[in-house]
Structure 1
């Protein structure tokens, strides 16, 4: 990839697609070698054996965040940094050194228990216990997506339609923005979003290992049961903001994330 291509990972039509639909897919965002190395680390830590399906006794197992080289390198490729600059804005996001919690989904007849439609929350309620870091039930999301620049979907294994791909309600980020606006800076928590974007088309986050979906932070999405034959390795790390999103800028230098929100609120 040339320096120019690194600086502009996404063509204008793809930026427009992100604004309208709430996500854009980047193929070969990181190499298959990195994906293979990362999966080897995860298999090492899973309480089951890779080539023994009889040991795959749970529909989903969550692994802690990793900062090992293949994960760190996968989230910091030149093409992804260039895309983050285009979608969030240069200097407005913070690089990650770890990949975040990783749910591994297995072929299994049971419901995984976590397949509801939702958006990812990004900051704690003022009444949250600061010592409790695993309970996100009272966390919130607000109209400027405090604390979260993007939702990212990293495919560390090949994911087909039967392999529990993340479901995406296309364009739901616009409805979500209108839902969040009345709550102001305080935002909303404990949201029931089964009906949010129910009239939107559904896209599936499929693709070969190394694919990344860059998603608007308000995009409504959901997990699903694994109906395939091989475990699915997909992680959705948060990209953090270096400065808050702003819906009013004197210089008019709005990012595509901000433009989408402004369109939803009829400010653009």
Structure 2
């Protein structure tokens, strides 16, 4: 693809490793505007550390202009075309939940390994988050994205990523068919099938975006630095079900197909 933001090598690393880092995905100026809005929402004072009393503050989805523009830059849209397929993903109108992590000596209690689940069956309790599901065709989710709205170094609570863990999860989900497995079922063994995978951190300057396979196992961690970390984690919704058989053509589909071929 001429002028595509991801090289062929990056696309193939996404297939094998389950994620790719997109530098300069959105302008730093938008990150600065968005952070100013989010600081007010936290109820904390950026210049008074005594107000930073919690290890994490979770804020809901935001669609104000800085967030909507950050979610839909030409660079991001072109990368989604490369990974999910042109015309096969729903445009992002804003960004999802912001877990804002503050320097802390204590754990926030939400740092376990997991994948992001995406649907519930009619008989499931929609209010029971642990009862939400994922299945081998990744119903309801084409990607997970991590938008860095602040500079994130290794001490700044970067998301932990198990490289290649999407392969393990595809194989685990396959026997469950369309019903899939609940997050409670998936987490019962603490995602042991991917425990030996190497771990990397989602670091980078504000404006960086990580595009992650929906089966990628990841986790939060305690903030050991000095400056709060601002990050959004929106899903990318598919317009049509993913194909994981021989007709699989997009990188997100090929990653699942290849994982199941080598079981």
Question: Who is 2:118 aligned against?
Answer: 122
Per-residue CA distance 1:97-134 (angstroms, 9 max, x = gap): 1201111000011111100000000001322345x4xx
**Structure 2 unaligned residues grouped into runs of 5+:** none
Question: Who is 1:258 aligned against?
Answer: 253
Give the Cα separation in 2 of the matches to 1:45 and 1:15.
37
Q: 1:183 aligns with which of 176, 186, 192?
A: 176
Give the Cα separation in 1 of the matches to 2:248 and 2:163.
25
Question: Who is 2:241 aligned against?
Answer: 244
Q: Does 1:213 align with 2:214?
A: no
Aligned CA distance change for structure 1 residues 267 and 108 (closer, same or farther; 3 Å)? closer
SS in 1 for 2:193: coil
Alignment of 1:53-68 (within 5 A): 53-68=49-64
What TM-score do you get using the length of structure 1 for normalisation? Answer: 0.93
Give the Cα separation in 2 of the matches to 1:74 and 1:199.
35
Q: Does 1:231 align with 2:228?
A: yes
What TM-score do you get using the length of structure 2 for normalisation? Answer: 0.95
Matched residue count: 259
Give the Cα separation in 1 of the matches to 2:52 and 2:239.
40
Per the TM alignment, residue 267 of structure 1 is displaced from its structure 2 partner at its CA by 7.1
Higher relative helix content:
2
Give the Cα separation in 2 of the matches to 1:229 and 1:22.
30
SS in 2 for 1:137: helix
Question: Who is 1:174 aligned against?
Answer: 167
Give the Cα separation in 2 of the matches to 1:90 and 1:170.
26
Question: Who is 2:103 aligned against?
Answer: 107
Aligned CA distance change for structure 1 residues 127 and 240 (closer, same or farther; 3 Å)? same
CA contact (8 A) 2:248 2:257 kept: no
Per-residue CA distance 1:16-47 (angstroms, 9 max, x = gap): 11011000001000000000000000011112
Per-residue CA distance 1:122-157 (angstroms, 9 max, x = gap): 001322345x4xx41110000000000101010000
Q: 2:154 aligns with which of 161, 164, 169?
A: 161
Give the Cα separation in 1 of the matches to 2:227 and 2:244.
43
Alignment of 1:129-140 (within 5 A): 129=125, 132=127, 135-140=128-133
Question: Who is 1:201 aligned against?
Answer: 198
Question: After alignment, is 118-127 or 187-196 more displaced?
Answer: 187-196
Question: After alignment, is 252-261 or 202-211 more displaced?
Answer: 252-261
Give the Cα separation in 1 of the matches to 2:173 and 2:112.
19
Q: Does 1:141 align with 2:141?
A: no
Question: Who is 1:98 aligned against?
Answer: 94
Give the Cα separation in 1 of the matches to 2:220 and 2:125.
28
SS in 2 for 1:66: coil
Per the TM alignment, residue 194 of structure 1 is displaced from its structure 2 partner at its CA by 3.8
Q: 2:73 aligns with which of 58, 72, 77?
A: 77
CA contact (8 A) 1:169 1:202 kept: yes
CA contact (8 A) 1:125 1:138 kept: no
Pairwise CA RMSD: 1.5
